[in-house]
Amino acid sequence: MPGGRRIAAVTDAHFDVAAGECLALIGESGCGKSVLASALLGLLPANARTAGEARLGDLDLLAADERTLARTVRGRLIGLVPQSPAAHLTPVRTVRSHLRETVAALTGTRGRAALRAAVEAAAARAAFPADHLDRHPHQLSGGLAQRAATALALVGDAPLLLADEPTTGLDRDLVDHTVDELRRHVDTGRRSLLVITHDLAAAERIADRVAVMYAGRIVELADAKAFFGTPGPRHPYSRGLLQALPDRAFAPIPGMPPELGSLPEGCAFAPRCDRATDACTALPPLADGIACHHPRLPEDLRA
Ligand SMILES: Nc1ncnc2c1ncn2[C@@H]1O[C@H](COP(=O)(O)OP(=O)(O)OP(=O)(O)O)[C@@H](O)[C@H]1O
Ligand code: SF4
Ligand SMILES: [Mg+2]
């Protein structure tokens, strides 16, 4: 950009998600979660640059051209469950109309009767009630809009579901219900699910593994049971995130995340970290699921 500068929104992100597995990507606002999701879908702004590879089967998503992304990736290889589903749906069209178009485009179903049946089957897969199919997005509750969006995401039988903040704005019961539904589609379809969320309770409920991001880097990759339960997180930032929860210590992490354009030398968390030493002026690599020079060890994990 003329007069502008480049920032590294996501750096050295290495992870995999297996079929039948859910990986939750968590971290504070601005840490790079949505940029990572957009990179997988080929939806970064035109002036963005990527490096490395993101394999889905034989395809490298980062190297795919727009035609491949439009024809074979979006909807077919990756089903996107969007944030704010009501806003994602076209306000002047009914849910049936959305589903009909997507079913026709992704499955090739033709003919009124066949399309009608396929649309109703698609709605049923996401537990969207058939008698609400002729409603417009503004006539749906948050939960039903979420189910409509999930139904659309499932039409193409994509092996990867990507859900970016799927529970924003929902009350607790609906959050639980939404994540349970998403989990069901992973379990029954043997799909992979990458769920991006601020909501740690939702992540605990749905995820098999957790990736914690800070300032554009994954700082911890852990088994969800161990992370949320015993022995708990090993990275000081991850621990801070959990300790900030109202049902834990309710103690916020001091300070603010850094500007991506002016990261400190070495570990970006150092200015906020009570374990920082001189060693932390060198960037800690992600090794054995943790990027920290002084991770919490088994003996102090319950402290
Ligand atoms: N088009 C863009 N141009 C410049 N910077 C951008 C652009 N899109 C995102 N960024 C920057 O990249 C960083 C990561 O943004 P991103 O949207 O991925 O955060 P996030 O982790 O999804 O946050 P949130 O939890 O608030 O959704 C932010 O600092 C943001 O300002
Ligand atoms: S590397 Fe150092 S500053 Fe960074 S999280 Fe670990 S102990 Fe804290
Ligand atoms: Mg985001």
pLDDT tens-digit readout, 58-98: 999 999 999 999 999 999 999 999 877 877 899 999 999 99
Closest residue by Cα to atom 26, ligand 1, is 29
Give CA–CA dist 131/118, Å, rounded: 15
Q: How large a percentage of the chain has pLDDT more than 70?
A: 97
Strand-pairing partners, residue 80, are 162
Give CA–CA dist 261/258, Å, rounded: 8
Closest residue by Cα to atom 6, ligand 2, is 292
Which residue from 275, 278, 286, 288 has its CB within 8 A of the most atoms of ligand 2, so it is best to mutate? 275
Q: What is the DSSP string of 192-212?
A: EEEEE-S-HHHHHHH-SEEEE
Q: Which pLDDT band, with edges at 50, 70 and 90, does 24 fall under? A: very high
Closest residue by Cα to atom 16, ligand 1, is 32
The residues, any chain, with a CB within 8 Å of residue 131's CB and separated by 6 or more, are: none
Of 8-17, 59-68, 167-176, 244-253, give the lowest mean pLDDT range: 167-176
Q: Which atom of ligand 1 lies nearest, measured to the CA of 213?
A: 21
Which residue in the block uniquely carries the two structure tokens 């290495």? 14
Question: Exposed, middle or buried: residue 136 (CB in 10 Å: 0-12, 13-18, 19+)?
Answer: middle
Of 227, 245, 208, 205, nearest in space to 295 by CA: 227
Are 174 and 95 contacting, i.e. CB atoms less than 8 angstroms apart?
A: no
Domain ranges of the chain: 1-62+198-303
CA of 112 to the centre of ligand 3 (A): 39
Give the 3-state secondary structure of residue 242: helix
Which residue from 235, 263, 292 has its CB within 8 A of the most atoms of ligand 2, so it is best to mutate? 292
Of 270, 267, 257, nearest in space to 291 by CA: 267
Closest residue by Cα to atom 27, ligand 1, is 29
Which residue from 6, 26, 31 has its CB within 8 A of the most atoms of ligand 1, so it is best to mutate? 31
Are 185 and 191 contacting, i.e. CB atoms less than 8 angstroms apart?
A: yes
Closest residue by Cα to atom 1, ligand 2, is 292
- Around ion ligand 3, residues with a beta carbon closer than 5 Å are 33-34
- pLDDT at residue 297, as a whole number: 79
CATH class of 1-62+198-303: alpha beta
Residues 144-176 have pLDDT tens digits of 998 899 999 999 999 999 999 888 877 888 888
